[in-house]
A and B are shown apart, each in its own frame.
Chain A
Amino acid sequence: MGSVGAKDVPVLLSPEGLRIDGRRLDELRPIRIQAGVLHQADGSAFVEWGMNKVMAAVYGPREVHPRHLQQNNKAVIQCKYNMAAFSVDERKRPGLDRRSQEISKVIAEAFESVVFAEEFPRTSIDVYIEVLQANAGTRCAGLVAASVALADAGIPMADLLPAVAVGKIAGKIALDLRKEEDNFGEADLPMALVPQSGRLVLLQMEGHMTPEELSQSLDLGVQGCRVIYEKMKQALRDRYATARFAPGGQ
């Protein structure tokens, strides 16, 4: 994928079955999630996942801008995924590109599947995801951050949305690809799970997989999501363990 004419293909899997960073095929990169990191937003979260650094902020329910998007029977959920110009090796031209717009759309649709939007008619719930440092899997890191930020903002939802990408490297199915594995691997399959229903609300795929490999990937991804789910819940518990409840505090 994207490797036409490229040189220096790294060895993605050692003879011992270890990946570039020493992980096994079913291992996640280290993840750190912090809820309530911003002051102006109604809810926020910061996720450090491998070498990704992603910030998410939630505003609302608030007035809808632009006004014509307003819905009489429910809140609209607007999502903006954006990559900072300095977040990748070669400077990215700032502003909305097509990739960001597509990712914003699928993330908004994932949240619309779990947020109780009908409780807030004629309002907007605005989700902003800012990728500060990127190393593959930013849409999943963004989704995890935004999901914790929504909970931090007190938005009622059916569940949190853990997300992870599964891929294929050196012919093997692997959990949570890092950049080299994404660039030189054979497939990439990001997904987001509703843990309580066991259903997927975000699912994309690019590359080559047999139906059997795809089936195995779904199981591995669901398993990864359940681990991330626990970390998300812990981040929210930590937020309230450390919150300053003193009058005038915050």
Chain B
Amino acid sequence: MSGEVATEIRTTHILDLAASGKRLDGRGPDEYRTVVVQPGFVETADGSALVRIGDTAVVAGVKLELGKPFPDTPNAGVLTTNAELIPLSSPVFEPGPPQPGAIEVSRVVDRAIRAAEAIDLTRLCVTPGEKTWVCYVDLHVIDHSGNLIDTAMLAGVTALAHANVPAKRFGVAEADYKLDIQHFPVECTFVRLGEAIVVDPTFDEEQAAQGRLTVATDETGRVVAMQKGLVGAFSPDDVREIVRRALVHGDRLRARIKGGAA
């Protein structure tokens, strides 16, 4: 099949370039593509954002509804994160129930939001044990050109940072109020290309990659989540180096959430 041959030729080329510190799109190993953050992209959502990293685009929408708290956490709100890799965004996605790739994106983003305690869930509780806000974060990948996790994470956290609780519409308060997030987690993803480790992989680089590692950090310099993916391996020293680089990039990405804030 010509598609497979083309992929193999491209992979070989990407690995050859990486060995001399170069990348197909001219970036250095430690350089992100252009990041564009546009909060408030969807007016029907309670919070939203369109985030582009290079040619990858994700729209995040936050919706809040009233519901029941979980029996084991009567004083806490409920947070649900879902990612859709819709067929519109790439020839490799097919319609149907979520595939493992989509599940991984949503769970990795969800984990970082939770572990960083981005939202104080106890503030979402209306009546303990009975009524609470249920916060849905829906991540729609609309253009898949690699590094979905970082793009989806930045879109999700930006949407949350700009979200309003629709208290007036649901008749539980006189006016809506800001959701207010207390921490700002972002993810930074790296892939191994031979012995090189590059940040913010494109779709083609992900195809060529021998292992992927995503590190979520918050604004206090803590690591709050990690996920290794794809076939391949990292030494503990690789991981230490990646964490160091993720902390630097994390601060740059975080500046974009706040920078866009009203």
Contacts and interface: CB of A to CB of B under 8 A. Distances in A.
A27 interface: no
B122 A211 contact: no
Contacts of B228: 106, 200-204
A207 B224 contact: yes
Contact of B226 (A109, A199, A205, A210): A205
B233 A201 contact: yes
Given A206-B115, A218-B240, 20 more contacts: A4-B75, A5-B72, A98-B106, A99-B107, A101-B103, A104-B100, A105-B104, A112-B231, A187-B115, A194-B233, A197-B235, A200-B228, A200-B233, A200-B235, A200-B236, A201-B228, A203-B234, A203-B239, A208-B224, A211-B244
A13 interface: no
Interface of A: 1-2, 4-6, 72, 98-99, 101-102, 104-106, 109, 112-113, 187, 189, 194, 197-211, 214-215, 218-219, 222
Interface string B197-222: 00000000000000101000000011
Interface residues of B, number: 43
Contacts of A109: 229-231
Given A1-B115, A4-B76, A211-B247, A204 B236 contact: no
B240 A210 contact: no
Secondary structure of the A contact surface, majority rule: mixed
Contacts of B73: 4-6
13 contacts: A1-B115, A4-B75, A5-B122, A72-B4, A98-B98, A101-B103, A112-B231, A113-B233, A198-B235, A199-B238, A204-B228, A207-B115, A218-B240
Contact of B72 (A6, A98, A199): A6
Nearest to A104: B100
A144 to B, nearest CB: 17
Nearest to B111: A206
A102 B111 CA distance: 12
Contacts of A201: 211, 228, 232-233
B229 A106 contact: yes
A250 B221 CA distance: 57
A101 B100 contact: yes
Contacts of B4: 72
B222 to A, nearest CB: 5
Contact of A102 (B103, B222, B244): B103
A105 B231 contact: no
A21 to B, nearest CB: 23
A113 B231 contact: yes
B243 interface: yes
Interface in B120-142: 121-122
A181 to B, nearest CB: 16
Contacts of B18: none
Contacts of A104: 100
B74 interface: yes
Nearest to A90: B72
Closest 5 interchain pairs by CB?
A199-B233, A205-B226, A203-B228, A5-B75, A218-B236
